[in-house]
Amino acid sequence: MTVFTPSFVAPAPAVPYPANVYQPHLVTIEAVRDEAPEVRTLRLKFNDPAVAEKFSFVTGQFGEYSVFGAGEVTFCIASSPTRKGYLECTFRAVGKVTRAMRDLQVGDVMGFRGPYGNRFPIDQWFGKSVLFIAGGIALPPVRSVIWNVLDLRDKFKDVTIVYGARTVADLVYKHELEEWAARKDVKLVTTVDPGGETPDWRGEIGFVPTVVEKLAPPSADTYAVLCGPPIMIKFTLPTLAKLGFPDERVFTTLENRMKCGIGKCGRCNVGPVYVCKDGPVFTAAQLKLLPAEY
Amino acid sequence: MSTTAPITKANLANLVARLVAGGARVVAPVRKTDGLRYREVTDGAEIVLEPRGLPDMSLKAVVFPPTEPLTSYERKGRDVALTAPPLIFQPTVVLGSRPCDAAGLEILDRVMNWDLRDELWFGRRRATTIVSLACAGPADRSCFCTAVGLAPDATRGSDALLVPVNGGFVLEAVTDAGEALVKGNHDLFGVPAQADAEVRQQARQAVAANLSLDPPAVQAWLSAHFEDPLWDPIALRCHGCGACASVCPTCHCFDVVDEPEDLAHGTRRRNWDTCQAAKFTLHASGHNPRADQNVRFRQRVMHKFEIYPERFGQVLCTGCGRCSRTCPGGQDLPEILAAIQARVGGAA
């Protein structure tokens, strides 16, 4: 195994990290939106006006969100850095902290530490096409990149989004899916697993790798962003390879369990990398150098 | 040239009294029913300076407590107020650290300073002066510090080293803090002297007889053998209890949890954790990247002898042998390392 240095290092954030690096910023919930059963988006605003004004991050970075009394939880920032003044996170209520987050309301105060990790190097994709592929609850980290790209739309060629979920109800960001479907400069393909469709479903029916293969997006001059459950990644990577995508142009973000987020606590270590420091964004070429412990 | 000065046992006790009177916390090995343990002392007579006595826990708790507050919260209606722990730490002098334990702290400085500096760690590091006691030889057959680049009289991580001589000790200053300790208490020390170099050499040879390793070769083997039959039976002895990580001078994995005290108040803490626990890597989805004990044990060996050396240029092990002594299942790290060394063709 060889150490690879973080390929896409994020710039230092405008708001410096506190002397006690574990001290969170306080944030207030500005808006709550239900996306799917048990899936919710929170829009957060920093309580300290100086932090709110200066806070910066780049797409692909993550943070440690906390409910005081329940603990901290790790998510990629789901909003785009082009949308200033707030952060969004989208989560499924499955554990102690996410269930506590689901129980919060507009006006409640939470904690946020970050931004941490590297980035999707979208500036290196200027002038090229981008193919987004996401499954289920993995759309939120990809959504940050999608809006970042769409907010700089004239810098990219074709933008294609393939998004699948188990059932129609499980599709997240339904309003934004409609928005992307209506745009002439975006090609959106949505799919649900067989049996997950409703009578009025007009999207595809089938698993994501199959739908990608059928769609056969051109690989020339195209970067792919792939994020989903491990089983989806496993079967979509060979499909992309078959379509001619070199591993260096396929990007994903790993979701290892983390605690500190800053390379100290040892939890997200996989072979030679710490996902929190060297990632969470990796290319498929880098993934192949890692032991399968993610 | 560093200062070397002899000190009698009586004057060592006087030194403790003086340090305590000056407001310092003095930590030293003391005798408990089941062995030696590092404890805060106020009386020099409590200190047990046995040149072959290894406390059962490492020194890491002095700098990295098993549990410590990261922030405290108070709910006021829907609002929250946070109180960060003050980054002010009591000056601490460790008297009689084992050289391996002092080295462990220095090895961990690298990860604690990786881009983002952990000031809870470094605040205590700066406040702590470590006087190690040179070992006269291995505590038992589990000691292998010489196999990982250390020695029974290693000074890495120590500010000063006490070397036993007839009737007392010679104190060798290693760092400015060590020099200051000698200079500030010069009346307790005798004229500069040297410890017997031959005795120290014999101690090194005695430890080296336990295990001989070529760490770079071990690292290279591990790098190429993530999948290997060696790992299959390795966890048969492992209960996943994490005792090895608890006693280890360099295991530093931690958990971050909130501990509510009542409806309005609570503390976010970090607690020692271990990669040997099944839940350590468990995802919310139920997926566990390291689902079996053998791959968790492989992670422990890999992190110490392959991953950390590759990242930080240091083996994450001081050869103290505590993991072997403590393991209820008889897991023996020196034995595993010897097996790996045998695969790469004998020791260097």
- pLDDT tens-place string over residues A114-148: 999 999 999 999 999 999 999 999 999 999 999 99
**C-beta separation of B214 from B348 below 8 A:** yes
CATH number for the domain formed by residue range(s) A25-116:
2.40.30.10
**C-beta separation of A39 from A75 below 8 A:** no
A119, amino acid identity? R
Decide if A264 and B85 are in contact by the 8 Å CB cutoff. no
Kindly report, as residue ranges, where domains of CATH 3.40.50.80 are found in chain A. 122-253
The two structure tokens encoding residue A90: 């989208």
* Beta strand A87-92 pairing with A109-116: unpaired
Q: Does A220 touch chain B (CB under 8 A)?
A: no
**In 3-state terms, chain B is what percent helix, strand and coil (to 5)?**
40, 20, 40
* Chain B: closest CA distance from residue A182 (Å): 33
Residue A93 has pLDDT above 60, yes or no: yes
Percent of chain B's residues with pLDDT above 70: 97
Kindly report, as residue ranges, where domains of CATH 2.40.30.10 are found in chain A. 25-116
Percent of chain A's residues with pLDDT above 70: 98
**C-beta separation of A119 from B308 below 8 A:** no
pLDDT in tens, B159-168: 999 988 876 7
Task: Using CB atoms, pick whichever of B80, B111, B115 lies closest to residue A26.
Answer: B80
pLDDT in tens, B309-326: 999 999 999 999 999 999
Round the average pLDDT of chain B to a whole number and report it.
Answer: 92
The mean pLDDT value for B146-170 works out to 91
* Beta strand A281-283 pairing with A250-253: antiparallel
Pairs of residues, one from chain A and one from chain B, whose beta carbons lie less than 8 Å apart: 140
pLDDT band of residue B186 (cuts 50, 70, 90) is confident
Residue A4 has pLDDT above 80, yes or no: no
**C-beta separation of B237 from B48 below 8 A:** no
Round the average pLDDT of chain A to a whole number and report it.
Answer: 94
pLDDT in tens, A225-272: 999 988 899 999 999 999 999 999 999 999 899 999 999 999 999 999
Instruction: State the burial class of residue B88 (Cβ atoms within 10 Å of its Cβ: 0-12, 13-18, 19+).
Output: exposed
Q: Does A255 touch chain B (CB under 8 A)?
A: yes
Closest CA to A283 of A256, A254, A248: A248
pLDDT band of residue B193 (cuts 50, 70, 90) is low
Per-residue pLDDT, B2: 58
Token pair 């290319």: residue: A283
If contacts are CB pairs under 8 Å, which of residues 65-124 in chain A contact chain B?
66-72, 92, 94-95, 98, 107-111
pLDDT band of residue B1 (cuts 50, 70, 90) is very low
* Chain A: closest CA distance from residue B132 (Å): 26
Decide if B256 and A111 are in contact by the 8 Å CB cutoff. no
* A122-253 CATH pick, 3.40.50.80, 3.90.1150.10, 1.10.287.3510, 3.40.50.920: 3.40.50.80
Residue B136 has pLDDT above 70, yes or no: yes
pLDDT in tens, B246-267: 999 999 999 999 999 999 999 9
Predicted-complex ipTM score = 0.92
How many degrees, rounded to 5, is the angle at CA A237 between CA A232 and CA A239? 100
pLDDT in tens, B260-286: 999 999 999 999 999 999 999 999 888
Q: How far is CA A99 from CA A183, B202, B270, in A?
A: 35, 61, 21
Enumerate the residues of chain B whose CB falls inside 8 A of the CB of residue A95: 284
